[in-house]
Structure 1
Amino acid sequence: MNKKRKLVLENGAVFTGKAFGSDDASSGEVVFNTAMTGYQEMMSDPSYCGQILTLTYPLVGNYGINRDDFESITPFIKGLIVKSASVHPSHFRSRFSLDEWLKANRIPGLYGIDTRMLTRMIREHGTMKGMFAEVDEETESVLERLKQIRFPQNQVSQVSTKNRYVNPASGERIVLIDYGAKKGIVKDLISLGFEVIVVPYQTSSNEILALSPDGVMLSNGPGDPQDIPEAVRTVKQLLGQVPIFGICLGHQLLALAGGAKTEKMRFGHRGANHPVKDVRTGKVAITSQNHGYTVSPASIANSDLEITHINVNDQSVEGLRHKQVPAFSVQYHPEASPGPEDAKELFLEFQQMVHAKQTKIEISKKEGIVHA
């Protein structure tokens, strides 16, 4: 881990440090996360597809990599940047060092740079394209290659499951539309006794309803929600047919389906200490977040939605509820992984919504009413 490597940003800034992980060439959108722990969950979160992840906490890798804390089987980050990378991890569950895991997954890393300066630059100028390069490579040459690169628009198709699969249980059936779903979402649904059928992102509403779901979960995922209009159409067709709960990208898709608009943020929310206020109760939860797009507050006035949660720091929209049908969403991650579990109760709220729908159907059957 002594070889030098540099990061070149599209604004011409150069950060030179030491290389670790893979030697593969890589480029992507450079973002930062402020969480103090949970680097394994972050690196395996599909929502980081196409991005070079910068961790602001200075020491990373000290508890190694274990077999249990992955949020997906395949990591999709394009690179990792840290201040200091631990060479000798110490934890009873550790199986690999950070360097070993990055090499095995062909992910390049950079350490020994001023991550505070890089973070402040991103906060000031917004997320930028970046590329790892050899230190002796001409910066102008790297910049020329960077100019030819565009942010990808097909991240969801890269991270979504290709085939549907079932997590069996004895409770109600939830169809989870996989836009890049974290394992934590599936785990929390199963813990409530739900049978979870995971389907690809492009699955039609007719195919979903043919599975006779008692509820539909819209998962997290990477990229711009407007890049997948087919998903918006599907959500719009499902509204009123079945209870819906959206998380992160799923929240943005519900917003678009309900008539609101989304927009790109300057540097997004990525961390584990974002305070979110429930405007209905005044209660504040500390939340885990990872997103670069947000719902436009001004667009909600003429939509079928109402705001339920706001970000205390910047007043951005963090939660929505449909006015006419059982559907709600949040921009943050109630399943955490990593982060605080203050918002776990939202899964119970979804469960109550599913139970209410089922009770209504049972009453209708007893009364001889045919229900759609």
Structure 2
Amino acid sequence: MTTTTEPTTEPATGPATEATTGPAAGFTPAVLVLEDGSTFAGRAYGATGSTFGELVFSTGMTGYQETLTDPSYHRQIVVMTAPHVGNTGVNDEDPESGRIWVSGYVVRDPARRVSNWRARRSLDEELAAQGVVGVSGLDTRALTRRLREEGVMRAGIFSGDALFEQGPSGAVRERPVTDLVAQVVASPQMAGANLAPEVSTEQAYVVEPSGEFAGRVPVATVVAVDLGIKSMTPRRLAERGVRVVVVPQRSSIEDVLAAFGELPEGAPRGVFFSNGPGDPDAAEHEVGLLREVLDRRIPFFGICFGNQILGRALGFGTFKLGYGHRGINQPVQDRTTGKVEVTAHNHGFAVDAPVVDGSGAPAVSVAPHGEGRYGRVVVSHVGLNDQVVEGLMCLDLPAFSVQYHPEAAAGPHDAAYLFDRFVGLLTDPGDWPPRLAPPGGGAAQPAGSCGTAADSVVDETEENL
């Protein structure tokens, strides 16, 4: 492995040596090129060729199959910080969508052999079959450190024929690094990218109640707007007796209302916005659709990209994080209970909303959009590593969201209660919103009625109104 910090016209790879992993005696050289001119040489993993995307790192020790098939990773090259990847192979039960969405994959030490009773093929084989260009044998610790210090950046992976060109004399030669860097710099940036339309379903489909609720009348009907939804998410709702109608990103408010079907008056219903890729600042259609939902006071729950869309719909801004939150070990505090949960994340943008007031208590603010027509809002969840907004709760509307992935695919089950919270909002809206736990701990008090100025938050925060 070689690393350079400045562009150079020297070849990007060194001479081939005996492979240290895999069945072959030799290996195909590959190189990861960053837009700042840094290069990391290694071995081809998966398909060969070239690929481009935003280079990000994931701290998950397990769940690589769910990571690869998460549509939120569309147009991103993922670096795995776990040094050993691929030992459980690939099965047909764990994918979160119908394909791998990452644009490239970077690992340090790929498994020499697969060892799991559910495995159907190796990770290397699956990446190659789906045309995903990867690289192995890199110092992913040094690469991650660079991203933490400098921030995520565009990158490209080059291997096989993509590393060579025909010279003036007709002879084949290795391409200079400056040419590779130029290709990386010419690739699209994530800022300003509107990517949800590229990953959303083309046709609506239904997930019926399952488990103990199978065959029974649904406890509620939810229209889920697919911005890059993971398959486990509607299943988590279905396990709680909810009938889920998943609709395309392009849906209008008329499409959403029609998806509820012939529900009787007063039947529990709600709208869900899923996770997804891209810059929330570019999601004008989604923001407009959600405002239509909020104006009709239809109960709403959003996760990840859906949290950012709620923030924008309420009038808050969003911003790009330096290197984002990606992995299954991110600590978050639920401020309605005071409890800390370990959660799964995949986001590079965050909502810019007030977290605390001058006294350190949770800040209650009036949603800026429409001269405050959406009422009061509080940050319900906070990331404990950096105090980033991880959830929003409307106090005068039946709406809330979280920035992370509570469906536990892949990831811990600490946040599964959020689906119960949503079902509770649908079936018993009079108990909304939950009351915030007092600063410093203690039990939360019963919530006031949604849409009133009742005791919806602790007394310490009311002075902010």
Q: Structure 1 length as normaliser, TM-score?
A: 0.93
1:229 aligns with 2:298: no
Counterpart of 1:370?
none
> Does the 8 A contact of 2:207 with 2:235 survive in 1?
no
Q: How far is the alpha carbon of 1:359 from its aligned partner?
A: 11
State whether structure 2 residue 390 is matched by structure 1 residue 334. no
Note if 1:145 corresponds to 2:201: no
Q: Greater shift after overlay, 46-55 or 187-196?
A: 187-196
Among 237, 241, 244, the alignment partner of 1:196 is: 244
Q: Secondary structure at the match of 1:329?
A: strand
CA positional deviation for 1:88: 1.1
Equivalent of 1:277, from 325, 333, 345? 333
3-state SS in 2 of match to 1:93: coil
Which of residues 179, 186, 204 is equivalent to 2:234? Answer: 186
Q: Partner of 1:160 in structure 2?
A: 200
- Describe the SS at the equivalent of 2:234: helix
Q: 1:198-217 residue pairs with structure 2 within 5 A?
A: 198-212=246-260, 214-217=269-272
CA contact (8 A) 1:82 1:110 kept: yes
Structure number with greater Rg is: 2
What SS is found at the alignment partner of 1:27? Answer: strand
Q: How far apart, in 2, do the equivalents of 1:147 and 1:121 lie?
A: 18
2: CA distance between counterparts of 1:230 and 1:305? 22
Q: Deviations over 1:221-278 (max 9, x none)?
A: 0011111101000001101431100000000001111111111101000011111111
Identity %: 40
Matched residue type, 2:200: S
Partner of 1:68: 93
Q: Which runs of 5+ in 2 are unaligned?
A: 1-21, 164-173, 210-216, 261-267, 356-363, 368-375, 433-465
Could you tell me which of 346, 352, 368 is aligned with 1:290? 346
Residue 50 of structure 1, CA deviation: 0.1
Which residue type is aligned with residue 139 of structure 1?
V
The one-letter code of the counterpart of 1:220 is N
Give a deviation string over 1:27-50, Cα, whole Å, max 9, x none: 110000001000000000000000
Kept after mapping to 1: 8 A contact 2:48/2:158: no
Q: Which residue of 2 aligns with 1:252?
A: 308
Residue pairs, 1:30-49, within 5 angstroms:
30-49=55-74
The answer for the alignment partner of 1:369 in structure 2 is none
Paired residue type of 1:149: S
Amino acid at match of 1:217: F
Structure with more of its chain in helix, by fraction: 1
Q: 2:252, 2:289 within 8 Å by CA — same for their partners in 1?
A: yes
Using the alignment, how far apart are the partners of 2:84 and 2:68 within structure 1? Answer: 15
1:206-232 CA-to-partner distances (Å, cap 9, x unmatched) read 221222370111100001111110100
Give the Cα separation in 1 of the matches to 2:398 and 2:243: 20
Matched, 1:306 2:378: yes
Looking at structure 2, the residues matched to 32 and 234 of structure 1 have their Cα atoms a distance apart, in angstroms, of 32
Contact 1:33 1:270 in 2 (8 A): yes
- Classify the secondary structure of the residue corresponding to 2:428: helix
In 1: Cα distance, 2:135 partner to 2:354 partner: 40
How many angstroms apart in 1 are the aligned matches of 2:315 and 2:327? Answer: 29
Letter in 1 for 2:178: E
CA distance in 2, matches of 1:218, 1:151: 24
**Higher relative contact order structure (alpha carbons within 8 Å, sequence separation ≥ 6):** 1
Q: Deviations over 1:56-115 (max 9, x none)?
A: 000000010010000000221111100111131100000010110001100011110100
**Normalising by structure 2, what TM-score?**
0.75
> What amino acid sits opposite 2:176 in the alignment?
E
Task: Give deviations 1:146-192, integer Å, cap 9, x for gaps.
Answer: 22222252321110001111123331211110000001101101111
Q: What CA distance in whole angstroms lies between the structure 1 residues aligned with 2:145 and 2:241? A: 44
Cα contact 1:180–1:221 (8 A) shared by 2: yes
Residues matched between the structures, number: 360
Instruction: Give 2:35's match in structure 1, choosing from 1, 7, 10.
Output: 10
Cα-Cα RMSD: 1.7
